[in-house]
Chain A
Amino acid sequence: MVSGKGIIGLKYLGKDDIEKIVETAFSMRDISKRSVKKVPTLRGKTVINLFFESSTRTKTSFEIAAKRLSADVVNFSYASSSTSKGETTIDTAKNIEAMNPDVFIIRHASSGIMELLSRHLKTPIISAGDGTNEHPTQGLLDIMTIRDEKKRIDGLKVVVAGDIYHSRVARSDIYGMGKLGAKVYFFSPPTLITEDYASLGARVTYDAQEAFTDADVIIMLRIQLERQATGLFPSTREYAKVFGLNEQRLKLAKPDVIVMHPGPINRGLELSSGVADNKEHSRVLKQVENGVSIRMSAIYHTIGEGHEYTDN
């Protein structure tokens, strides 16, 4: 981890850090499968869910994760309108920090907010997504889901498709999977990406054939419907036809391809219902399950200093 600062982006994590969080997450997953879904590890610790942008799923996932580790969870939700009361984001966070929490989980609409708040807070931060920058725990849970299935990341062809330009998921995926040796393809209409994205180590393509052929993993991103209004693509019909994933395109991929999606899915837009519900290939619900485990691991690794336990 970025020492004492939590997990604010996969661009800052080394390969070893990523692997450690993912490995721990597998151990955490066993806990969620027991009848007593709780370990006492973080008893007495306070986890703050500080969400400046609504996201019920991510917030719930973090909340369940923290509770399974016996931490106390407090949710703060600030609709963007409440900042119109005049309080700055920094002041809001510092006010909550004065109540002595042990870790902040923060979601915010501005890219780079984690770097800004890190300079002002002593408490470590786990990013739950900032603007169009990063969503590190989503990147980690994607890695975990792939590792679970394929037992490796190195050398796999991973296609990330959709609105790359506005996607914090795409960015965390390429940072994380790139470090672990995956061959990442970005497939997108040219209005939702730029050529400069190749600088992240991905191959940028506008051709479905090139993108999906022999893919080991396909990650479809959610298309925000309001993008259509701003003219980035003309219609959902055309988008689905040219850039969506359907049964036919899926046949281009390797027979054991897995399909992932950070949710919520626009059925019939980026993902056809047939693919979304295909039990053989779809791992969408597995991602949700792994999300809790990854967040347990992330919280566990972020709180405290860590030392080997000796009782000899």
Chain B
Amino acid sequence: MKSVIMDSTAIERALKRIAHEIIEKHTSVPVSLIGIRTAGVFIASRLAEYIGQFGRIPVQTAILDITLYRDDAAKGAGRAIVRATEIHFSVDNTFIILVDDVLFTGRTVRAAMDAVIDLGRPKVIQLAVLVDRGHRELPIKADYTGKNIPTMDDDQIKVVLTESGSKEDAVYVIRKGD
């Protein structure tokens, strides 16, 4: 069973709210939004646009590929494609917000933090996600959350965005069985 949890309006509203929160809470500039491939990249660039509109504070974005940092990389990385990490600024002493679409076990975020720390010593790392679906396996918590969605462990959350070719933005939950 597939049901819409957020439609495009809800997504827009959630991201704009997060943008306002970031403007409120940021401790230094520029704000560096690092999107985790693939959907996180699109969300980061939307947030950057909103922050620019609302806050007039300097924002920069970057792209992080965490494939090589996955904790299952050694047993399963094999032929997974490694895409480029594109961070064209120094992370040293920078205010960084990692951006992803869905927060689930927390393992992706753990990998992303390791990857960023290997690039230097950021001042702060925060986390922004569109959806938090629970079931954490690591002590990780988002600083900015678009929507909390209670889910079953084996549910699938699917985020579709116009940037990746779909007609409309939406977040679905796909539930097994019923």
Report B's interface with A, CB cutoff 8 A: 65, 67-70, 72-85, 101-102, 104-105, 107-108, 114-115, 118-120, 133, 156-159
Contact = CB atoms under 8 A, between A and B. Distances in A.
Given A40-B73, A41-B77, A43-B74, A311 B105 contact: yes
A245 to B, nearest CB: 34
A303 B77 contact: yes
Give the interface SS of chain B, mostly helix, strand, loop or mixed.
mixed
A309 B70 contact: yes
A38 interface: yes
A1 B158 contact: no
A187 B140 CA distance: 61
Contacts of A31: 68
Give the interface SS of chain A, mostly helix, strand, loop or mixed.
loop
B74 A311 contact: no
A304 interface: yes
Interface of A: 1, 20, 23-24, 26-28, 30-31, 34-36, 38-45, 69, 297, 300-301, 303-309, 311-312
A305 B73 CA distance: 10
Contacts of A311: 102, 104-105, 107-108
A24 B68 CA distance: 11
Contacts of B65: 27
Given A30-B84, A301-B79, 8 more contacts: A30-B85, A40-B73, A303-B78, A304-B77, A305-B78, A309-B80, A311-B104, A312-B159
B79 A69 contact: no
Nearest to A302: B78
A29 to B, nearest CB: 9
Contacts of B69: 39-41
A39 B116 CA distance: 11
28 contacts: A27-B83, A28-B82, A30-B84, A30-B85, A34-B119, A36-B119, A39-B68, A40-B73, A41-B67, A41-B69, A42-B73, A42-B74, A42-B77, A45-B74, A301-B78, A303-B74, A304-B73, A304-B75, A304-B77, A306-B79, A307-B78, A309-B67, A311-B104, A311-B105, A311-B107, A312-B104, A312-B133, A312-B159
